[in-house]
Structure 1
Amino acid sequence: MNCLDPLISIIIPVYNTGKYLPKCLDSVAAQTFTDFEVLMIDDGSTDGSGEICDQYSQFDNRFIAIHQTNQGVSASRNNGLKRARGSYISFIDSDDYIHPQMLDLLYMAVCQGDYDFAMVYNKIVEEYITEFQSIDIPNLQKLYPKDLICNILGNSDMDGQYIVCTNKLYKKDLLKEVYFSEFKIAEDLVFNFKLFHKVNKAVLLKHDLYYYWKHETSAMYNVSEKYYLDRLNAYWECFNWVSSGTFSEACYLIKLYKVLFSIRLQSRKAMYYNNISKRIDEIYKHVCGNFLKNRFIPISRKVLFMVLYYVPLTYKAFISFCEWKAKKIR
């Protein structure tokens, strides 16, 4: 490894994840690919996480501890981007961990076809995996701009694979002038949405190599008014990147409407519901015209969504029906 000019910079924002951080860092240290630097951005932790970062930096000069006052995950990643020396960038969350071959396979894949980035599947786990299956011949799939935009705006569980930044290896040049927005949630949606409009081609490794550790302090469990507002505003920010009247806009608007309905239902009993409802109405007024005029959205879908919007209780009934129908099919 060339310590002065590593091939890959791994950026890990750290905030009060001392219980999980050693497993994360150990999984990075165990990589079969070794030409990397690890920028551990301690975001003002108070549980000893910062000290753990210092310990790893003392025993392995590839691990670099950077301490800052608490500013949030987006500021931590942006700080890492400014300091990164590698030609490629990878992000890992400090309470997750990765397969021993992940960096090796991502680097091999991205170089194989001169791709702008490579990605793997992330997998939600509830316990630490100790035995990993070796991958000799990876299953690769080429991705083009239209694929990426449609997938990130998809209406299935797979859209999350495209939204997150932590299961990817990016060319550093692709990230020029693109930074994370100051959202508490869905910050990677806006980040990747902007990037996907710059991509010529990418590649997917169809393997579960990134492990998202599901626990009680995960972001998915910490909902608040800011959580909901940030999610709404993140999707609203993406609207400025969609061309009017296109198929991509149709995919985006269908996704946005589902987000509006879902958040309104989830927050309906919260004390801050009126603030959330007001923001939903503001966004709806801006996009309703585009939704009704877009020729790629079927009339039946337009009628259905108008009913779901103006008669909120019908959305809960609609979701219950869809869940019942899905169980019946199984």
Structure 2
Amino acid sequence: MNNLPSPIISIIVPVYNIKHYLPKCLDSIVSQTFTDFEVLMIDDGSTDGSGEICEQYSRKDKRFITIHQFNQGVSVSRNNGLQRTQGKYISFIDGDDYIHPQMLELLYKAIRQGHYDFSMVRYQSVGDGEQIVFQKNISPCLHELSKKEVICGLFGKSWEDAMYMACWNKLYDSRLLTDVRFTNIKASEDLLFNVEVFGKVCKAIEVECNLYYYVQRGTSISHSMSERLIIDRINVSYACLKFLSSGSVEEAYCMTKLYKVLFSSRFRVRKEMYRRNVIKRIKEVHKLVCKQFLRSKHISAFYKILFMGFFYCPLLYKVFIGLTELKARKA
């Protein structure tokens, strides 16, 4: 790929038709206080000039490497990047987001200080076009995480599970990813990837500071809804169970999250033409996990009764959502 010594960190940036966002992302990488890295920009068949932007950065900086491919999706892009990495540590950054100048430095210092399997930072959602003033000379607190904590974190509270689920706010020891790849799906590919990775983890560490800036684009996949996206989310949540020990606390967290996905999916498609297909898949998954859910000693009787009530009486869930939204508006 190049004649430079192997870098310490390999950064994988999937790129697809994001020419208005990509320069800010790549400039934020150029500005890092930690400089021993390579950037693998995977152009996924862009048609808007994003690929040419990647080439411009490759010409200016030998650390930036452009890889072009036919359009195959973000999972294939990341997998192609993983096949070409040379670094001891691996980071993923989405091409429409950007990072704090110290993010790589603090992730690297954290993972090295205790020989952790991965380090992660917190993230901040920012509006499209919003300007962020970077805090200088950050010295954040560090929080050590056990294997149980990181797996349960994947299925925790909504703001927490996003932090654990995402691959783009982490620095992984490359040995963790030797035989792990992303599944080529349209939604929640990070969740399935990380639940497999976390199964290999002994301990990790969190840098308690918002250093990754997640840009909220109305046109992104995370803001769209389709039959395939919704069914993919259901299937991924169910597939996670195969990586968890039967009867464990982690399994209980996963099943609880799975039922929340089932309820929210059914509620979201109530007015859609493809409602029947989604409902069919929801019923199939419920049949597969219901007994397992009810037998779990780590799920309280209250939640078992509540969730079965939500499942067999959708009106109860509708009322619950209404009350939750009302409470949020009053807060």
Partner AA of 1:104 in structure 2: E
SS at match of 1:240: helix
Q: What's the counterpart of residue 216 of structure 2?
A: 214
Partner AA of 1:208 in structure 2: N
Tell me how far apart the structure 2 counterparts of residues 174 and 220 of structure 1 sit (CA, whole Å).
27
Q: What's the counterpart of residue 204 of structure 1?
A: 206
Q: What's the counterpart of residue 75 of structure 2?
A: 74
- The CA deviation at 1:128 is 4.2
Tell me how far apart the structure 2 counterparts of residues 20 and 293 of structure 1 sit (CA, whole Å).
48
Following TM superposition, the consecutive aligned residue runs of length 4 or more in structure 1 with deviations greater than 6 angstroms are: none
Q: What's the counterpart of residue 288 of structure 1?
A: 290
- The CA deviation at 1:327 is 5.5
Residues 162-187 of structure 1 deviation map (CA, whole Å, 9 limit, x = unaligned): 00000000000011110001111100
Partner AA of 1:33 in structure 2: F
SS at match of 1:157: helix
Select 2:233's aligned residue among 223, 231, 234: 231
Q: What's the counterpart of residue 91 of structure 2?
A: 90
Q: What's the counterpart of residue 119 of structure 1?
A: 120
- Tell me whether 1:45 sits opposite 2:31 in the alignment: no
1:112-151 alignment runs, 5 A limit: 112-126=113-127, 127-151=129-153
- The CA deviation at 1:230 is 1.1
Select 1:251's aligned residue among 233, 253, 271: 253
Tell me how far apart the structure 2 counterparts of residues 242 and 114 of structure 1 sit (CA, whole Å).
24
Given the superposition, is the C-alpha separation of residues 70 and 45 from structure 1 closer, same or farther in structure 2, using an over 3 Å criterion? same
Partner AA of 2:151 in structure 1: I
- Structure 1, unaligned runs of 5 or more: none
Q: What's the counterpart of residue 60 of structure 1?
A: 61
Tell me how far apart the structure 2 counterparts of residues 76 and 173 of structure 1 sit (CA, whole Å).
20
SS at match of 2:10: strand
Q: What's the counterpart of residue 317 of structure 1?
A: 319
- The CA deviation at 1:130 is 4.9
Q: What's the counterpart of residue 31 of structure 2?
A: 30
Given the superposition, is the C-alpha separation of residues 53 and 131 from structure 1 closer, same or farther in structure 2, using an over 3 Å criterion? same
SS at match of 1:120: strand
- The CA deviation at 1:222 is 2.0
Select 1:264's aligned residue among 238, 263, 266: 266
CA RMSD of aligned residues (A): 1.3
Q: What's the counterpart of residue 99 of structure 1?
A: 100
Partner AA of 2:35 in structure 1: T
Tell me how far apart the structure 2 counterparts of residues 254 and 327 of structure 1 sit (CA, whole Å).
26
Partner AA of 1:322 in structure 2: T
The answer as to whether partners of 1:155 and 1:255 remain within 8 angstroms in 2 is: no
Partner AA of 1:38 in structure 2: V
Tell me how far apart the structure 2 counterparts of residues 248 and 135 of structure 1 sit (CA, whole Å).
37
The answer as to whether partners of 1:307 and 1:314 remain within 8 angstroms in 2 is: yes
Partner AA of 1:59 in structure 2: K
- The CA deviation at 1:17 is 0.5
- The CA deviation at 1:326 is 5.2
TM-score normalised by the chain length of structure 1: 0.96
Q: What's the counterpart of residue 275 of structure 2?
A: 273
The answer as to whether partners of 1:90 and 1:168 remain within 8 angstroms in 2 is: yes
- The CA deviation at 1:3 is 2.7
- The CA deviation at 1:158 is 1.3
- The CA deviation at 1:292 is 0.8
- The CA deviation at 1:156 is 3.1
- The CA deviation at 1:325 is 4.2
Tell me how far apart the structure 1 counterparts of residues 81 and 276 of structure 2 sit (CA, whole Å).
37
SS at match of 2:43: strand
Tell me how far apart the structure 1 counterparts of residues 156 and 305 of structure 2 sit (CA, whole Å).
20
Tell me how far apart the structure 2 counterparts of residues 233 and 189 of structure 1 sit (CA, whole Å).
11
Partner AA of 2:170 in structure 1: K
Residues 27-60 of structure 1 deviation map (CA, whole Å, 9 limit, x = unaligned): 0011111100000000000111011101110111
- The CA deviation at 1:233 is 1.1
Residues 193-213 of structure 1 deviation map (CA, whole Å, 9 limit, x = unaligned): 111111001000010000011
- The CA deviation at 1:278 is 0.7
Tell me how far apart the structure 2 counterparts of residues 297 and 90 of structure 1 sit (CA, whole Å).
35
Select 2:163's aligned residue among 144, 156, 161: 161
- The CA deviation at 1:217 is 1.6
TM-score normalised by the chain length of structure 2: 0.96
Name the count of aligned residue pairs: 328
- The CA deviation at 1:313 is 2.0
Tell me how far apart the structure 2 counterparts of residues 281 and 83 of structure 1 sit (CA, whole Å).
41
Partner AA of 1:66 in structure 2: I
